[in-house]
Structure 1
Amino acid sequence: MPIFSKLISKIMGIEEIQRQSIISFGGQIVLTIIGFLSTIYFARTVGASVLGAYFLFMAYHNIIGMVTDGGIGGAAIKRISEGEEQNEYFSAALVLRLFVTLSILILIIELRDYFVDLDNAGIFLWLLAALALSMLKGPLYSGIAGCGKMGIHATGNYIGDISRILFQIMAIFLGYELAGLAGGFVVGIIVSITIALRFFDLHVTLFEWRHIKNLSTFSFWLFLTSSGILVYSYADRIMIGYYLENADVGIYQIAVQFAALASFSTIALRSTLWPKISRWGKEQKIGLIEKSLSKAINFSLTLAIPVMIGGILVGDKLLYGLYGPEFSEGYITLVLILIAQIMNVFQYLFNTYLGALDFQKMSFKATTIGAIGNVILNILLIPVIGIDGAALATLITLALNSILLKKYLSNIISIDIEYPSVINILIASGCMAVFLILYRLLGSTSSTSLIIVPVILGAIIYFFILIRIDANIKKELKEIAIQTHLPWPKWL
């Protein structure tokens, strides 16, 4: 396979952090596209009610998974990334995770009657299987991330996610619906574990009580912080399911997934930056940390702002045309969540940097305030204005959390936002917006193809103008093209 070998050689020739960011970002793009198209298929095939039940399954899995992890995974990444006694910290984390997960699984089985919706749907056992497999996947990927192998970390997760989606598509085609969606989720975990085992270098060894203590000290605050973040992510879905119907959960989650297009670059950056920031913090390389944060904010807003503006202008047509008439009811929810994604850029990055720099207590304080506010607002707003209330609660509390996190992080490092680049992003987004508005006024949007075409053209207009007016972004993209021996247009 000379072509494949040549491609790998080119990729490995790129500087480490840039290479890992490209792999992570590229994988996120592929996964987002596949996930986007598959969700359209699921929505049109099984409808909002079945999707809503699956989204509740996911919410239960991730919340229980947060408890079984207990912050151990993040603590293991932190300690292993410091480069000392890596095998011992991995082994301690593995034993802790096995003990906690087995204890939780026994408890869940005893409380099976409280999961009546999942049990009646026939997917309770799938939930147990997914949680059991996490006992192995969690420590494996923590070890890989701690060793700085973020390309493998990202690739393994992406391939697992793609395998999940492909299996789900086949299962839905064969008529398995909800059980097929849950079963595909378990298949994806198995594939991810298989890939991790192939590239895993650490090994199980004897460890001491101090290793457990060091992990527990860090994981305690990380666990509490993660709990707050998961409240943002899943409490609204569970409350919608309680107050409203499964179909409302499906409509809400589709709007959330659609809006997530605005923040996937931020998520891709986090997995790459965390171990590097941790190492730089230990070595007191504050300048590198501050520079990386500035670039991360700029890189994230490059996508978040135009997606927000485009979603506000044509989101109603896209929801109707892509997912079906019942999902167009989530347009106002989509608008609110898109605005919230701008807040999420700052919240996500500030949380990442505080955690990687070992200031979990500060992150916990801010996240706790936001999480409590989120629950209270959901309780007050969902019964009154439905799923729009859940979106509004998310927007308000993410804004509050971002402000508090910025206050804490600014006491540790300088936060420098590249305002000239932000202005250029707004200018390019404004040009795109003018095009989309004119198209809606003068053109037809009666079919899916007639609304997707202007979206694609709008994206081209945005990136072309941005590259022309922002020298820094142009320079970075050109450097990547040169290092990978890709052609760079002379007219740019």
Structure 2
Amino acid sequence: MLNIATIFSNILKIDPIQRQSIVSVFWQVSFTAIGFLSTMYFAHTAGASILGSYFLFLAYYGIFGMFTDGGFGGAAVKRISEGEEPDAYFSAYFLLRLVFTITGILVLLMFKDYFVGLNKAGIFDWLLLLLFVSALAGPISSGVAGKGKMGIRNTCEGISNISRVMIQVPAIYLGYETAGLAGGMVAGMIVAAVIEFRFFDLHLVNFQWKHIKSLSVFSFWLFLTSSGVLVFSQADTVLIGHFMDVENVGIYRVVLQFTGIATFSSNALRLTLWPRVSQWGKTKELYLIEESLSRAISYSLLLAIPVLVGGILLGDRLLYSFYGADFAQGYHVLIILLAVQVVNIFQYFFTMYLDALDHPQESFKVTAIGVGANIALNIILIPLIGINGAAIATLATMTLNALLAWRALSRHMTIKLERQSLSNIMMSSVVMGLLVGVYRLFVPLSNIWVTMLVVAFGGIAYGFLILKFDKKVYTEMKDIVEKVGIGFVWPGWL
């Protein structure tokens, strides 16, 4: 039998980055599974229009939330992680966040009549409440992250997402529609903040102008960069809502969420590496930074590449089986957005490392160019080819961003890709694709169970191939499994 106490004890002995990444991956997998199931329920029960209204709500929250944060959240994580006067930096950030949020809420109330869509859906007040709650929950989360407790932060983020879904599902069942979805978002954030506060060890203290100035210098560029990233990620949603209808917003965003399966490992590593890279940059440990980047990219592509191949072969049937006939028309969008997720791995890690190494102004320059191109292409392509145009605009500008970010980061460090590992990933993915393609050629995917069977077959085949081809991945996975001590006997024939 499994000894849970022993397993947890063994996990704590693992290297901090590996341990925190394992925790993050666990919650990524857990929430994505729950999120997929709940979205399938929402799609069949509420329909694309209700989901479209909710995704617009999230887009507006992201935009207004960025302005109420002002970029100070990322700056606070950076300064706290450096270990010098963390309480003072946290206190300065907390006050700034509260002032910005109250000001933002007052401005929104003044212009309430202009938000016709939010008022019509009955969720404008939910937006105000969510902004206020985030003003309290955000600093707690930033403080925990700045202290390097990424396992705690990732766990609480998972709890927030799961709590949200647990409230949203009965709300939709009871007929609360978009308001029920928005209310679940607020409740999930509150639950996570309460739990995370138990592990929070910073204190409110008197701070000086130098602390605000230090945060402001870093946050200025980080705010501009984050705003650009936010516009980059939400421009397509807002412009689809402008040029088309909320049903198309729902289809596009559901497909985008579906492609999130390709980002398990990259999301986990992003959250874990930020404070570590910041510390290494402070202590001038460049070799650790370069090694971490190369491994992070390899481990991210370890999942993203086979998911892209699988999406090309099975995406049409998966969308139809999971979400219904209305969403199956998003197949071509799915393929494009899966390619976006692959490119985004490079773009995000390059810009993240620029920020963590205290070069946010260069990250902003890269992002600003991408944002301008993204908005222009969306305005041109969405009226011409609909949601496919939005996906193409995102892919084109994400590629541009990745190239510019690579050029900027290469001025400060050597960017080394693990070519052998990447070659092994590509070879394993191609072989898996051939096997799945032959399977589909002879076995009609007539229902969801047959479709899931071929998905499982492809996953097992790829897992076997990558462990067989890549000795580095094999060794590291074997080492983690043996350290955790879950009673799994590692097969000697691999």
Which TM-score band (shorter chain)?
over 0.9
1:386 is aligned to 2:386: yes
**Aligned equivalents of 1:117, 1:53: Cα separation in 2:** 8
Task: Map 1:272-311 to 2 at 5 A.
Answer: 272-311=272-311
Matching residue of 1:220 = 220
CA contact (8 A) 2:8 2:484 kept: no
Give TM-score scaled by structure 2 length. Answer: 0.98
Give the match for residue 470 of structure 1. Answer: 470
Q: Is the 8 A contact 1:280 1:289 kept in 2?
A: yes
Flag structure 2 segments of 5+ consecutive residues without an equivalent: none
8 Å CA contact retained: 1:263, 1:344: no
Q: Is residue 490 from structure 1 mapped to residue 489 from structure 2 by the alignment?
A: no
How far apart, CA to CA, are the structure 2 residues paired with 1:204 and 1:15? 32
Distance 1:239 1:287 in 2: 43
Q: What are the Cα deviations for residues 400-421 of structure 1, in whole angstroms up to 9, with x where unaligned?
A: 0000000000110111101111
Q: What CA distance in whole angstroms lies between the structure 1 residues aligned with 2:449 and 2:232?
A: 34
Kindly, what percent of the aligned residue pairs are identical? 52
Letter in 2 for 1:491: W
Residue in structure 2 matched with residue 322 of structure 1 by the alignment: 322
- Verify the 8 A CA contact 2:7 2:485 in the aligned structure 1: no
Counterpart of 2:212, as a letter, is I
SS of 2:415's equivalent in the other structure is coil
Q: What CA deviation, in whole Å up to 9, does each residue of 1:32-89 have, x standing for no partner?
A: 1111111111111101000000000000011111111111000000000000100000
Paired residues for 1:187-206 under 5 Å: 187-206=187-206
Q: What is the rounded CA distance, in whole Å, between the counterparts of 2:137 and 2:3 in structure 1? A: 32
- Partner residue in 1 for 2:173: 173
The normalised TM-score by structure 1 is 0.98
Alpha-carbon shift at residue 7 of structure 1 (Å):
3.1
What is the CA distance between 1:3 and its match in structure 2? 4.6
Q: State the 1:355 CA deviation.
A: 0.6
Task: Kindly provide the amino acid, as one letter, of the partner of residue 24 in structure 1.
Answer: S
Corresponding residue SS for 1:186: helix
- 1:20-169 mapped onto 2 (5 Å cutoff): 20-169=20-169
| Partner Cα separation in structure 1 for residue 388 and residue 237 of structure 2 | 12
Q: Distance in 2 between matches of 1:300 and 1:162?
A: 24
In 1, Cα distance between the equivalents of 2:162 and 2:205?
A: 33
Write the distance in 2 (CA, Å) between the matches of 1:416 and 1:480: 24
1:38 match: secondary structure: helix
Q: Aligned-pair distance for 1:348?
A: 0.8
Distance in 2 (alpha carbons) for counterparts of 1:419 and 1:34: 35
Distance in 1 of aligned mates of 2:327 and 2:216: 44
In structure 2, the residue matched to 1:419 is: 419
Larger mean Cα displacement after TM superposition, 152-161 or 261-270: 261-270
Residues 158-188 of structure 1: per-residue CA shift (max 9 Å, x gap): 1011000111111112222211111100011
Give the Cα–Cα distance (whole angstroms) in 1 for the partners of residues 220 and 273 of structure 2: 22
Structure 2 counterpart of 1:195, one-letter code: I
User: Over residues 267-287 of structure 1, what are the superposed CA-to-partner deviations in whole Å (9 max), with x where a residue is unaligned?
Assistant: 111110000000000000000
Question: Offset at 1:208?
Answer: 0.1
Aligned residues: 491
The CA distance in 2 between the partners of 1:51 and 1:383, in whole Å, is 22
Question: Does the CA contact (< 8 Å) of 1:266 and 1:348 recur in 2?
Answer: no
Could you tell me how far apart the structure 1 residues matched to 2:189 and 2:22 are? 23
Q: Provide the rounded CA distance (Å) in 2 between the counterparts of 1:75 and 1:103.
A: 20
CA separation in 1, counterparts of 2:4 and 2:192?
22
Shift of 1:427: 1.0
Q: What secondary structure does 1:445 align onto?
A: coil
* Counterparts of 1:114 and 1:269, CA distance in 2: 40
SS of the aligned residue for 1:411 comes to: coil
The CA RMSD measured in Å over matched residues stands at: 1.0
- CA apart distance, 1:444: 1.2
User: Separation in 2 of the partners of 1:88 and 1:489?
Assistant: 52
Shift of 1:4: 4.2
Q: Deviations over 1:393-450 (max 9, x none)?
A: 0000000000000000011011110111111111111111112211221101121111
For 2:455 and 2:417, the matched residues in 1 are separated by 29
- Name the structure 1 match of 2:399: 399
- Give, as a single letter, the amino acid of the residue that structure 2 aligns with 1:304: A
Counterpart Cα distance in 1 of 2:109 and 2:265: 38
Q: State the AA in 1 paired with 2:219.
A: S
What secondary structure, in the 3-state scheme, does the structure 1 residue paired with 2:46 have? helix
Q: Distance in 1 between matches of 2:414 and 2:264?
A: 25
- My pick for the range that moved more, 261-270 or 424-433, is 261-270
